[in-house]
Amino acid sequence: MNVELVNTGSELMLGRVLNTHQQWLCRRLADLGHVVTRQVAVADAGKEIQGAVREALDRAELVITTGGLGPTSDDLTRELIAELLGRKLVQNGEVLAHIEAFFAQRNRPRPSMTTVETFVPEGALVFINRFGTAPGLAMTIESESSKTAAVRAGQRARKWLVMLPGPPRELRPMFDEYVVPVLKREFLDEIFVCRTIRTTAVGESRVQEMVEGGLGPLVKRGLETGYCARPGSVDVRLTARGVQAQALVLEGEALVQQVLGANIYGFDDDEIENQVIRMLVEKHKTLALAESCTGGNIAHRLTNVPGASAFFLGGVVSYSNSAKEHFLSVQPETLRTHGAVSEATAREMASGARLEFGSDLALAVTGIAGPGGGTAEKPVGTVFISLATEAGVDVRKFLNPWDRETFKQATATQALELLRVKLNSA
Amino acid sequence: MNVELVNTGSELMLGRVLNTHQQWLCRRLADLGHVVTRQVAVADAGKEIQGAVREALDRAELVITTGGLGPTSDDLTRELIAELLGRKLVQNGEVLAHIEAFFAQRNRPRPSMTTVETFVPEGALVFINRFGTAPGLAMTIESESSKTAAVRAGQRARKWLVMLPGPPRELRPMFDEYVVPVLKREFLDEIFVCRTIRTTAVGESRVQEMVEGGLGPLVKRGLETGYCARPGSVDVRLTARGVQAQALVLEGEALVQQVLGANIYGFDDDEIENQVIRMLVEKHKTLALAESCTGGNIAHRLTNVPGASAFFLGGVVSYSNSAKEHFLSVQPETLRTHGAVSEATAREMASGARLEFGSDLALAVTGIAGPGGGTAEKPVGTVFISLATEAGVDVRKFLNPWDRETFKQATATQALELLRVKLNSA
């Protein structure tokens, strides 16, 4: 089955916002066995939207659009698609009642502009928007021209067009609540299995060299492989379709495990922070942080993990020297002699955090995020990461000469990876 | 001029990664006056990539592809495009020397798989990859078929196809260093002006109602308007083309300022955190944080701003009650009587942080991020935000009943907005 996404929005084409719908919808659809075959983004303009939707309907049995259903003058998708398909727009009482109630609950008058949202294409299935006003819409299409094209291509003649609102907080629950049941009823679930194995410390081409010999026979039987390099890590992706899919992917995974074992930090959506929290819970170890240059990024990532509060006690973002002294008991003498970015300061930050929080482990980072602050001896990107345990303090030096945000992200990842390896070996 | 992007990568279609190239390249191209007319993403498969590139070349004068230039077996873009255009792949000595040097510098043998990266389509312009191995490529195309289509559509017969590597750290500097000069030389700069005005506290349809009357005459003269709702804020976008563009956008901006003045927190890429740091610097006020449920997110966002260190002294991520007592002098009695998530605790956290850091201002948050921990009286999403100044402590209560990450992001935004308003009025 062919599935296409059409994302509408001039803000996408101007690069003002990130298109998070693509990733979210592609993931959800793949989980249902429907891998998206093409995604297209176009501006909020008649020719563009109608052209993209017409072409998508020619190729695919399911087309999902996002955006352009709201009340403002640049929300054109509903009208343009109704026009394209020759459907009249008719007012829907249920939608009107919902929007009236939405504003009544908030003690605000209903803006008259929202009336446009109550008009839906004749015959459309209506998805009430629990987190906003614009409803989602779904229509089946059996036009002559697309029937001919479909029959020619051996596809089903009946196609589905689904329109979802742009805000992610509205789109996501609507997809799960309304669209998934339609898909399950209207389209056969296909068996599709996808497994991502996440590795660190080996380059992309070396990873493939290490695993491809073993995977060769499975690839001949239908396993597909993919590799994706990220900062500091490489994903190995194994996918398969059909009744053999699960067995093929499991065999492939076992082979990759054998070869890359120690370099694997997780699977699928695992992040290092999830692994760290899982291991802290398993081993009943508490953790504290002392962050200078990462400015709270490590704490932020750890606290994204539900349940982090049980073993993550907290951290100090010690941006100033006085905060390092006051909260972490770093000696003024150390700061004076070695500087804030030094092995000695990193060491005292970690042992200070461990002492002050009373934790089993403490992780500390100090470095120069830039763009200012570098010297010949300590250029921008210099960072010291230290880990205090009951056995003592380890300090490692890194050079991450990247832009400020990449620096923070990469440094946080290195620190979490040091902790993961320590927890793994303990 | 029509410009299209073709993003290749099965990981995109499976929803395993976010397509950040679209936003980044669309933004850069719009800044040069070339608004991308269509963006397409397809899997790493012959039929898909060749189909998407062929169609893009039929419509556009400039086509940029991303991804699929690496050394692994799923990197197919270079070979498929060479085949599509009937170009031979020939080894390039400069690329080979670069890749040899790349691995020599890292004291690692060059993986034999990287040889494939040294072969480039005959006649292509080669962009050496300063942050990786795979070169970027650019080709001009004057094939008969596309010439005919172009002449028919009144376009230039000579088209450009640019291929860039997938990793953002490689693509971005390569675009700026190599592609921008080619664009400036080959394509006339068009005048295009885009201004985004960022507002809070008013809904999307109300925003349009407030500004559209005033903007009407400018729209008749060619100004285009757009509205984009985000969690807690609405962007108003003004764009125009041609010699009048700057004047139209400036006039429009002045009108929006008049109507929405107090609700405007910034322009274009301004985030509330940038405004806060700017105002702290201007007013010579120092800031400290006490974060419970946001877990470091506020500190992380503030420290993304270059120069934050001058007036942001630091923060405590006080996830545990003992950390609240030890670092922020919250009274055990307060925690016992009112609980960690309460107005009283929020108040003591802010005044404690102000005292312990010795800062002019201190911002504190405590709440229930979920998914666990809610009660009937204090459901998941309950949050108290407090701001301590020399004049006393203000506390506000919010309910943000969303998923954990949205909760953290929205709560951090509310806290920063409270601070911004206070700094603005002080």
What's the pLDDT tens digit per position in B240-299?
Answer: 988 999 999 999 999 999 999 888 988 988 888 999 999 999 999 999 999 999 999 999
For residue B151, pLDDT beyond 60: no
What is the predicted pLDDT for the residue at B234?
Answer: 86
CA-to-CA dists, residue A24 to A103, B45, B403, B407, angstroms:
29, 22, 15, 18
For residue A357, pLDDT beyond 80: yes
CA atoms of A9 and A157, how far apart (whole Å): 29
A186, A205, A222 — which closes off a domain?
Answer: A186
What is the predicted pLDDT for the residue at A162?
Answer: 97
How confident is residue A232, by pLDDT bands cut at 50, 70 and 90? Answer: low
Query: CB B17 to CB A228 under 8 A?
Result: yes
Mean pLDDT of A103-129: 92
Tokens 């195309």: give the residue.
B141
Other Cβ atoms within 10 Å of A271 Cβ, number: 16
How confident is residue B373, by pLDDT bands cut at 50, 70 and 90? Answer: confident
Which one has a higher pLDDT value, B295 or A153?
A: B295
Same domain? For B148 and B90 the reply is yes
Scanning every residue of chain B, which has its alpha carbon at the shortest distance from the alpha carbon of A117?
B205
In chain A, count H helices and then E strands.
16, 17
The CATH number of the domain where B328 resides is what? 3.90.950.20
Quote the DSSP letter at residue B135: P
Same domain? For A336 and A405 the reply is yes
The residue type found at B374 is G
Which B residues in the span 160-179 are in contact with A, Cβ-Cβ below 8 Å? Answer: 166-167, 169
For residue B412, pLDDT beyond 80: yes
Best of B1, B3, B13 to mutate (most A CBs within 10 Å, chain A) = B13
For residue A150, pLDDT beyond 70: no
- CA B312 to chain A, closest CA, distance in angstroms equals 7
Q: Which residues pair with B159 in a beta bridge?
A: B141
Interior angle at CA B4, CA B1 and CA B10, nearest 5: 175
Query: Is B109 a member of any domain?
Result: yes
DSSP structure string for B216-260: HHHHHTT-EEEEEEETTEEEEEEEEESTTHHHHHHHHHHHHHHHH
Same domain? For A259 and A126 the reply is no
B291 touches chain A (CB under 8 A): yes
CA atoms of A404 and A387, how far apart (whole Å): 23
How confident is residue B227, by pLDDT bands cut at 50, 70 and 90? Answer: confident
For residue A144, pLDDT beyond 60: no
What is the predicted pLDDT for the residue at A142?
Answer: 81
For residue A126, pLDDT beyond 70: yes
When CB atoms are compared, the residue of B40, B114, B369 closest to A205 is B114
Same domain? For B262 and B307 the reply is no
Output the average pLDDT for chain B. 91
pTM to 2 decimal places: 0.77
Mean pLDDT of B92-119: 92
Which one has a higher pLDDT value, B359 or A15?
A: B359
Query: CB B37 to CB A13 under 8 A?
Result: yes
Element at A54 (helix H, strand E): helix A46-59
B310 touches chain A (CB under 8 A): no
Other Cβ atoms within 10 Å of A105 Cβ, number: 8
What is the predicted pLDDT for the residue at A160?
Answer: 95
What is the predicted pLDDT for the residue at B202?
Answer: 78
Element at A127 (helix H, strand E): strand A125-127
For residue A155, pLDDT beyond 70: no
What is the predicted pLDDT for the residue at A147?
Answer: 52
Query: CB B37 to CB A23 under 8 A?
Result: no
Which one has a higher pLDDT value, A164 or A309?
A: A164
Same domain? For A33 and A155 the reply is yes
- CA A295 to chain B, closest CA, distance in angstroms equals 5
Which A residues in the span 393-422 are in contact with B, Cβ-Cβ below 8 Å? Answer: 402, 404-406, 408
Which B residues in the span 21-80 are in contact with A, Cβ-Cβ below 8 Å? Answer: 22-30, 35-44, 48, 52, 70-74
Same domain? For B48 and B134 the reply is yes
How confident is residue A37, by pLDDT bands cut at 50, 70 and 90? Answer: very high
Query: CB B404 to CB A306 under 8 A?
Result: yes
How confident is residue B155, by pLDDT bands cut at 50, 70 and 90? Answer: low
Of residues B295, B300, B299, the one with CA closest to residue B405: B295
Scanning every residue of chain B, which has its alpha carbon at the shortest distance from the alpha carbon of A303?
B295
For B388-397, the pLDDT digits (tens) are 999 999 999 9
What is the predicted pLDDT for the residue at A425?
Answer: 84
Same domain? For B14 and B57 the reply is yes
Same domain? For A179 and A199 the reply is no
How confident is residue B231, by pLDDT bands cut at 50, 70 and 90? Answer: low
Written as six digits, the tokens of A210 are 């290490």
The CATH number of the domain where B172 resides is what? 3.40.980.10
Residues from chain B that touch A231, judged by Cβ atoms under 8 A, are 169
Scanning every residue of chain B, which has its alpha carbon at the shortest distance from the alpha carbon of A10?
B226
Mean pLDDT of A346-375: 94
Same domain? For A232 and A285 the reply is no
How would you label A397-419 residue by residue, b for 16+ Cβ within 10 Å and e otherwise? Answer: ebebebbbebbbbbbbbbbbbbb
Tokens 């201007």: give the residue.
B282
For A306-326, the pLDDT digits (tens) are 889 889 999 999 989 999 999
Using DSSP's 3-state secondary structure scheme, residue B93 falls into helix
The CATH number of the domain where A199 resides is what? 3.30.70.2860
Among A37-41, A110-114, A215-219, B88-92, which stretch is predicted with the lowest mean pLDDT?
A: A110-114
Residue A397 CA, chain-centre distance (Å), reads 30
What is the predicted pLDDT for the residue at B8?
Answer: 96
Among B186-190, B195-199, B259-263, which stretch is predicted with the lowest mean pLDDT?
A: B186-190
Same domain? For A44 and A140 the reply is yes
Which one has a higher pLDDT value, A203 or A155?
A: A203
CA atoms of A249 and A193, how far apart (whole Å): 7
Output the average pLDDT for chain A. 91
Please give the residue range of the domain that contains residue B391: 283-425
Mean pLDDT of B351-366: 97
- CA B384 to chain A, closest CA, distance in angstroms equals 18
Query: CB A74 to CB B225 under 8 A?
Result: yes
Mean pLDDT of A282-310: 94
Mean pLDDT of A364-379: 90
Residues from chain A that touch B52, judged by Cβ atoms under 8 A, are 38
List strand residue ranges (DSSP E) for B256-348, in order: 264-267, 287-291, 312-318
A221, A252, A267 — which closes off a domain?
Answer: A267
Which B residues in the span 347-366 are in contact with A, Cβ-Cβ below 8 Å? Answer: 356-358
What is the predicted pLDDT for the residue at A424?
Answer: 86
Same domain? For B160 and B180 the reply is yes
Long-range Cβ contact pairs of A106-114 (< 8 A, separation 24 or more)? A108/B203, A111/A71, A111/B203, A111/B205, A111/B206, A111/B209, A113/A71, A113/A72, A113/B205, A113/B208, A113/B209, A114/A71, A114/B205
B10 touches chain A (CB under 8 A): yes
For residue B148, pLDDT beyond 70: no
Residue A215 CA, chain-centre distance (Å), reads 28
Same domain? For B214 and B254 the reply is yes
Q: Any residues with CB less than 8 A from the CB of B315 and at least 6 apart, and which?
A: A296, A316, A317, B288, B289, B290, B291, B296, B298, B299, B353
A244, A267, A290 — which closes off a domain?
Answer: A267
CB B44 within 8 A of CB B75: yes
Element at B407 (helix H, strand E): helix B404-425
Query: CB A306 to CB B41 under 8 A?
Result: no
* Number of domains comprising chain B: 3
For residue B328, pLDDT beyond 90: yes
Query: Is B415 a member of any domain?
Result: yes
Q: Any residues with CB less than 8 A from the CB of A297 and at least 6 apart, and which?
A: A291, A408, A409, A411, A412, B296, B300, B303
Mean pLDDT of A51-69: 95
